Each structure stands twice: as C-alpha cells, then as structure tokens.
Amino acid sequence: MARIGRAIVRVPRRISKGQVFKVQMVITHPMETGLRKDKKTGKLIPAHYLTRIEFLFNGKRMTTIHSGPGISKNPYFAVMMKATESGTLTIKYEDNKGGKWEKSLKVSVA
Amino acid sequence: MFTRRDLFKIAGVGAAALLIAPGSVKESFGVKKISIDDALKEHLGVTLKDLKESNLITVKAPTIAESGANVPVQVKANIPVDQVEALYIFADNNFNPWVTKVELSSMNGEVFFATRIKLAKTSPVRAVIKMKDGSLLMAVKEVKVTVGGCG
C-alpha cells in the first residue's frame, strides 16, 4: 500500500481575484473503523482514522474538518475558497494514532 | 469408521457450539450501535423531531450506491457563509451515525463541502447546518446500498 498520509491537493491553475474556487484533496489513509476483523487471524483490526483536517491560508484558519471512521478509505475532501490575495495554503491533518502531516501549496491570484 | 456413538458426539459438540456462538459474537463486538437520536444529542443537543427540513440546503448523493464503502456526498447551501457555524453529516444506519463536522469561515466564500462516506446499509444521509444564531437546518437524501461498507 502506498504510504499513509500522502496527500494530493488540487486547485485551479488560473484564479482571478474575487473568484470562488474549489480546493480538492485526497489523502492516502486506511480509515479503519476498529470493527472490522482480519479474515486470516480473526482478530479485530485496530481503529486507525483521520480525526482532523485543517485548512490554513496565510496562517489564518479557513476550514476545519472533524472526521471519523465514517469517512471512506483514502478520503476525498472538497471545499470552496474565495480568492482575495496570493499566498500559501497549508493543510494540516492528523489521525487517532498520533500521525501528523502537513502539506503546503502556493495559490496565485491574478 | 463412524459408529453411532461418534455421530452423537459430533452432533452434541455442534449443538453446544451453536448455543455458545451467538453470545460470543455479541461479546466480541462489545460496542452497541448508536441511534441517530443519540448521535444528534451528542453533537447538537437535539433529537430528530427538533430538526426542520430546509430547502436552502441540497444534498447530492447517489440514489442507489453499488458499494457502501465509497458513497460520494456533496452538500451545498444557499446561505451566506459567515452566518454558518458548522456543517454536519449524519448517516442514520451506520454504527456511529456521526460522519463529519466541518467548520467553515468567511474565507470559504460559499457553503460547500464534498467527501466520500461509508454506509453500512441503506440509510438516509442527513446534512445539518448549524447557524451562528443557534438555529439548525437539515436536508435529507435516502441512499440505497446494495453492498455494505462497514466490515
């Protein structure tokens, strides 16, 4: 399986000022509920899921997603964002096992 | 070779196993399913009766989902984003009906959220929007699931 915590974030290439655009992301994560059994050993697979995804733009909090095991494996999230200025979009996310990751990308507003 | 006695023994063991089985299955699960009312109470402090359906919110989800492991859900609302405190998604028949809570801000520009969720079985998918003034708005979409996605 691909590395846990890897994320792909996508924003439009050209953004004009004042435009509301979509920010899409996919994170590689198993999102185990803790209720599923391993078919070989018969033991429960421990829960392992993302708990929090934070979107920050130029250091200011834009969106916080509180997630749980009800979100699908390799979660996909999309939110809207209003273009006011160019800057850095930082996405911080963490899971219930203490995993923490961060991903940044430049957003240039023309 | 099997004698008649052996046959009884095997049958006896089988019957005993059947008697024990249901109990052990329950025990291994341990946790009980949380009802939608309990989930709503925990996260919003209300029950299903208190929620009013609003046509300002739209929930986009497939009517029939082939796999419950991956159901795309999109929530949109015709409300200025700075009046919204948070957006919730609930799926009634899931083990834990609470799926997600999304805190939006004016930087989002509009009320929109899309993700993919798991559904254990056919269930209404609810989007609840909590406004800054404390009022709650809801929209429901029934999704039929042919193969469950939680276990």
> ipTM score here?
0.87
The CATH fold assigned to A7-107 is: Immunoglobulin-like (2.60.40)
Does B107 sit within 8 Å of A70, measured CB to CB?
no
In the prediction, which pLDDT does B21 show? 45
Does A57 sit within 8 Å of B116, measured CB to CB?
no
pLDDT tens across B38-93, in order? 889 888 988 888 888 888 999 999 999 888 888 999 999 999 998 999 999 999 98
Residue of A nearest to B108 (CA): A81
**Chain B residues inside the 8 Å CB shell of A57:** 107
What is the domain partition of chain B in residue ranges? 1-30, 36-147
State whether residue B110 sits within 8 Å of chain A by CB.
yes
* SS3 of residue B96 by DSSP: coil
> Which CATH architecture group holds B36-147?
Sandwich (2.60)
pTM of the model: 0.80
